[in-house]
Every structure is written in structure tokens, then in C-alpha cells.
Structure 1
């Protein structure tokens, strides 16, 4: 069986890049710089479902994404989490948080309706990230 991105992630996100192990996604909510890293491993639900080499690669890619977000956005806090309560496919959220964002200090999930990115915002974001 070939890897397929979970339908919820396909619906809610914009694909930004393909890295060696993972797909880099942007949550289509312009209120937060919210990125999701999904390893392209069929059936992976937990980090322990990856073999040792894949686990190391996944952590390296998470570190790479985290460093990129810190450099580009300079957030007060970078939230990194693998929850999977709503989407069981293994994925890690990377959310740049600011004391002035609309959800601070609460979690971003479901607090406010999403505001999709405009084409101009996406162009600017992709250019800033150089992905």
C-alpha cells in the first residue's frame, strides 16, 4: 500500500515541500504560522511505528523546520506537538506563537474559525521560507 496523506490534512492544509522523509504542510489558517510535518510512511500512527533510521530522520526534519520557523518568524514560543486525537496519521504540529496572536495563551485548536491565506500571503510566505 502506498503512502497517502490523511483526508483531514489534505482538506485543511497546503503542501509546501517534500523533504526526504516528510511532507511539509501549512495549516490554511492565516492567524498563526502553523506547520505540520508528516512522515511519508504508510500506516504510521505513532513515532514508534517508524524504524530507528526513520525516527532519527523525522527528528532531524522537525529540528530543521523548528529552526526555520524561529529564524523567519521569531516567535515568543514555538509549540511542537504530536497529538493525533482527531487525525490518527502520525504528524507533528509546529506552531509559532506570539503574545499578540488571537488565541494567546490558549491552544489554537478550534478556538477561532480559520481565516484562509490569500494568494498574496502564500506567495510572501513561500518566499520568506524558501521552501
Structure 2
């Protein structure tokens, strides 16, 4: 499935999905989700798995930077709420909710305001093109 209530898949491999988030938390906010065997921590991956995971993160981050032109990218590998390996990619812009500090991410409830569907679809298409 390329879309669900949380976002739109913009990139995938056999082991990784990248999902551009639908919630209007930060434009370009993307989750990289490990779809291989269940692990909680990156160090649980073997060398090949780790290469696959981090290579996907770098490829998606590069596309996000090329498209959105942020001042900085943040990479947050947390797992406090959902104990399965995933990394939040957050572009940081001039207009920022927490300049100089970590992005104020809260667990999503599903009730967050949503990005305009047309804008989300347009962004997803542009990012997919960059990731081909």
C-alpha cells in the first residue's frame, strides 16, 4: 500500500519504507521504517542490514534537502513510543518551532491537522522522482 492514514510512501526497498507524513507537523517530515526482521536498536542489525537501513536514510535525506532546501536536516532514531527501528527525518527551516533545539516531536494521535492533500501528493511525486 502506498498510502495510509499516516502518510504516503515515497521510497522502499526490500527492508525499508520511507513515508512522507500526512500530519502537518513539519513540511517534509518523513519516517524511515525498518521492515526487515524485528529489531529495536540499530546495533541489532547485521552489517548488510545496517548498510541497507542507513543507505536508505541517506538517500531519502538527500532528496528531502534537494526538494525542500532546509537549513538543516535532523535525524531522530527514537523508538520510545513504538519499539521498532525507525528514524524520523525532519527538515529544519528559518521558520522553526524550536530554533537551536531538537524538534518538538510528540506521538501522533491521528487527530493532528493534515497537510493539504494536493500539496502532499505533489511533494510525494517530486520526491519519488528524485529517488528514482
* TM-score band, normalised by shorter chain: 0.7 to 0.9
| TM-score for the superposition, normalised by structure 2 | 0.78
- Report how many residues are paired: 120
Question: Which consecutive residues of structure 1, in runs of 5 or more, have no partner in the other structure?
Answer: 1-9
**CA offsets 1:63-103 (integer angstroms, 9 cap, x no match):** 101111110111011001101111111001111011213x1
In 1, the alpha carbon distance for the partners of 2:21 and 2:44 equals 24
Mapped contact 1:28–1:114 kept (Cα < 8 A): no
Give the C-alpha shift of residue 29 in structure 1. 2.0
The equivalent of 2:33 in structure 1 is 38
Alignment root-mean-square deviation, CA: 2.2
Question: What stretches of structure 1 move > 4 A for 4+ residues in a row?
Answer: none
**Whole-angstrom CA distance in 1 between matches of 2:47 and 2:92:** 31
User: 1:115 is matched with which residue: 110, 113, 116?
Assistant: 113
Structure 2 counterpart SS, 1:66: helix
> Is the CA contact (8 Å cut-off) linking 2:22 and 2:120 kept in structure 1?
no
Unaligned ranges ≥5, structure 2: none
Residue 8 of structure 2 contacts residue 124 of structure 2 at CA under 8 Å; is this kept in 1? no
